[in-house]
Chains A and B, each alone.
Chain A
Amino acid sequence: MITDHLPILLIIIGFFGAFFTPIIGMIRKKLCSPWATFITMLQFLISLLLLYNVLAAGNLSYWLGGWQPPWGIEYAVDILNAFVLVIVAGVCFLVSIYSRKSLGLEVPGKEIPLYTLYIVLSTGMLGIVITGDVFNLYVFLEISSLAAYALIALGGRQSAMASFNYMIMGTISASFILLGIGYLYVMTGTLNMADLSILLPGIYGRPVLLVAIALIVVGLSIKTALYPLHTWLPDAYTHAPSAISALLAGTFTKVGIYALIRVMFTVISPSYVIETVPVMSMLTWLAAIGILAGSILAIAQYDIKRMLAYSSVSQIGYIILGVGLANNIAMTGGILHILSHSLMKTGLFMVSGAIIYRTGIKNIYQLKGMGKKMPYTMGAFVVGALSMIGIPPTVGFASKFYLAWGALEAGKWVFVIVILLSSLLTAVYFWRIFENVYFGVHETEEIKKDEAPLSMLIPIVIFAALVFLAGIFASIPIEVIKIWVIGVLP
C-alpha cells in the first residue's frame, strides 16, 4: 500500500521537486514558483495524512532499504512528529504562495536557485522532524541550514554579512551537535533513537554522557536562538528577503526546538534530564531571561522586521520555558506555542513584507496612515499582534494560559510573573505600531487605498483566520498534544 510509504514519500517528493526546479526553470522561469507551491502542497497533504494515520493507528515506522532499525535508518512518526510536520509543511506551503510576488520584487531574476533552495529547506526541515535516527537528524539539519544560509544571503548587500555570521554560528552549532552525537555513538554503538533510549540508561553514571548532553544542548540552543546564543537571528531575519524571513521565523527555530524535545525526552529519559542533571531547570532560567530580554530589545527597535525578530527571541523563550518546566501542562503549553508562534509570527512577517512590497517602508514611525492604505493587511497584523500579547480568543492566549498554569503547577511563581510582564512589554512594542498605523493621521487627510496583491493578501488573511480558529478551537490541538505529553511525562 502506498500509505505505508508516506514517511519516505514526504522526503522523496521534496528532493525530486528540488532538483527538478532547474529544469522547469530552463523551460520558463515563471513556472518555478508555482512548482514550489505544488511540491510544498503535496508535502502538506502527506503530513496531514500522516497525522491522521498516527492518530488513527498509532506510531509509524519506516525502514529505509528494508533494513531493520538498529542497523538501518528508520523514519519514526509519533504524534509529536506528525504535529510538527503539519505545522512546518503548512507554513512552507502558504509562504510559497505568498513568495511569488514578494520574492519577485526583492530578488528579481533568481527564481531558479531561490525555489530550488526553498524546496530543499522545506524538505530538510521535514526530514529533521520525521527521522528516527540521530545522525540522519544531523544530516538534515545541515541540509536545511545550508539552504537557509544561501536563502538569507540572497537578500542583498547587508544580508551577505548577516548570512555569514549565521553561517559561523550555525557551523559551530552543527559541530557541537555532531560531536555530541559522536559521543553517544561511541558509548552505545547505535544511532537509532529508540535503540539509544534503551541502551543509554546503562551508562547514566558516566561523565562522558554529560559531555554529550552539554554539546547537544548548546548546539541546538544556537539553532533555536535561545537567549544568550540568539545573536545571529536579528540580523538574519532583518536582512533576508521578506518571504524567507516569514518562512524561517515560522519553521526553522521550531524545528530546532523539536529536535531538543526529541533528544531530551525520547533519546535521553525525562527523569535523567530533570532530576539527575538539571538541564531542564537551566533551560527554564535562560528562557525566562530570554523572554524579558527579547521583549525589551524589541521595544528599542525602529525597523519593523528587526522588532519582529527580537520578539521571536522572546517567543522562543516561551516554548523553551514550557519544555523546561517539564510538567505535562507546561509541556502542552510549550508545544502548543510552537503552533501559535508559527501562525502569528509568519503572519506578521508576511505583513511586514507586504508593506515593503507596496511602499518600501521598514521604519515603524513612517507607517502613518497605513491602516487606511492597506486595511486588510493591517487588520491581519492586529490579529497577529493581539495573539502575541495573548488576548483571548486568539491562539496566543491559549498557549500562554497553559504555560502560566504549568508554571503554577510546578510551584514557580517567578515564571508566571515573567510571562505576565513580557505580555505587557509585548503590548508596548506592538502599541507603537498600532499608534502609527491607525492614529497617526488626521481624519481629513485623503489616503488612497492600495492593498497588497491578492496572492500575498490571501495567505496573510489565512494566517490571521487560523490564529482565531486555532484559538477558538484550541481544545483540538491540545488534545492531540496531550496524548503525546502524557505518554512522556505522566
Chain B
Amino acid sequence: MKAAPVSNDIILRTGASIMVPVILLWGFYVLVHGAIGPGGGFQAGVILAAGFILYTTAFGLKEAKKILSVKLLMVIASTGLFIYTGVGVLAIIFGGNFLEYGVIPIGETPAEASKYGIEMVEIGIGLTVMAIMLSIFYDIVLKEKGG
C-alpha cells in the first residue's frame, strides 16, 4: 500500500485552513460552557483533537508536529491532570475536602466558586483528552508509515 501522508489536494487544504480555526473555536466554546450547559472536558477535548487531526491529514504529520510535538503533547496531558488534582488540592488547602470547590475563595458565593472550580477541572480534562487523542493518532500514523 502506498502511504500518502501529505495530501496535495487543494480542496482539502483550502477547506482545512478555513475549518480548523472554526473547529478549534467551537472546541473552546464547548470547553468553557461545560459547567453550565451541555458539553464539558471530554467532548471539548475530542473536538479540539479532531481539529488538529484534520490539520494533520491536510498538511501532513511533519507540519503538525511542528505545532504540537509528541513531547509537548506529553507535557499537555500531564498538565491537564495536574490542573485537575491541583484544584482538588487547592480545596484541601482552603480547609475543605478534596474537590470541595465551594471553599475556594473565588467568586462571591460558594455556588459561584463551584462553577469556577468545575470549569478549571473541565479545562484540565479537555487538555488531557486532546493530547491523548492526538498522540494515539500520531502513533497510528507512524505505524501506517512503518516508522
Contact = CB atoms under 8 A, between A and B. Distances in A.
A15 B89 contact: no
Interface string B94-110: 00111111110000000
B97 A16 contact: no
Given A5-B92, A12-B89, A66-B102, A22 B78 contact: yes
A15 to B, nearest CB: 6
Contacts of B77: 19, 22
A62 interface: yes
A64 B97 contact: yes
Given A5-B98, A16-B85, A62-B97, 17 more contacts: A5-B92, A12-B85, A12-B89, A15-B81, A19-B77, A19-B78, A19-B81, A19-B82, A20-B82, A22-B74, A22-B75, A22-B77, A23-B74, A26-B75, A63-B97, A65-B97, A65-B100
Contact of A12 (B71, B88, B100, B101): B88
Contacts of A19: 77-78, 81-82
Contact of A65 (B78, B89, B98): B98
13 contacts: A16-B85, A19-B78, A19-B81, A19-B82, A22-B75, A23-B74, A26-B74, A62-B97, A64-B98, A64-B99, A65-B100, A65-B101, A66-B100
B98 A15 contact: no
A310 B102 CA distance: 52
Most buried by A among B81, B97, B99, B100: B97
Nearest to B88: A12
A480 B88 CA distance: 33
A20 B99 CA distance: 20
A8 interface: yes
A398 B85 CA distance: 43
B99 A65 contact: yes
Given A5-B92, A22-B74, A23-B74, A16 B98 contact: no
B93 to A, nearest CB: 10
A143 to B, nearest CB: 13
Nearest to A16: B85
Interface residues of A, number: 15
A65 B100 CA distance: 4
Interface string B52-85: 0000000000000000000100110110011001
A277 B120 CA distance: 48
A16 B99 contact: no
Contact of B82 (A5, A16, A62, A63): A16
A23 B100 contact: no
A20 B75 CA distance: 9
B75 A23 contact: yes
Contacts of B75: 22-23, 26
A23 B74 CA distance: 8
Contacts of B99: 64-65
Interface in A1-47: 5, 8, 12, 15-16, 19-20, 22-23, 26
A23 B98 contact: no
A8 B99 CA distance: 10
Nearest to A63: B97
B97 A66 contact: yes
Contact of B78 (A20, A64, A66): A20
Contacts of A22: 74-75, 77-78
A19 B128 CA distance: 11
A65 B75 CA distance: 27
Contacts of A63: 97
Interface string A60-71: 001111100000
Q: Sort A-B residue pairs by CB-CB distance and give the 8 closest, nearest first.
A: A66-B100, A65-B99, A8-B98, A19-B81, A66-B97, A22-B74, A19-B78, A65-B100
A64 B88 CA distance: 10
A12 B98 contact: yes
A66 B110 CA distance: 12
Contacts of A15: 81, 85
A22 B101 CA distance: 28
Contacts of A5: 92, 97-98
Contacts of A65: 91, 97-101
Contacts of A66: 96-97, 100, 102-103
Nearest to A18: B81
Interface string A355-398: 00000000000000000000000000000000000000000000
A8 B97 contact: yes
Nearest to A23: B78
A140 to B, nearest CB: 15
Interface in B111-143: none
B71 A26 contact: yes
A282 B29 CA distance: 56
Most buried by A among B78, B85, B96, B101: B78
A65 B81 CA distance: 17
Nearest to B96: A66
B15 to A, nearest CB: 35
A363 B75 CA distance: 44
A66 to B, nearest CB: 4
Nearest to B99: A65
Nearest to A72: B97
A8 B89 CA distance: 10
A20 B96 CA distance: 25
A5 B88 CA distance: 12
Contacts of A26: 71, 74-75
A5 B95 CA distance: 10
B130 to A, nearest CB: 15
Interface in A410-444: none
B123 to A, nearest CB: 16
Most buried by B among A8, A15, A66: A66
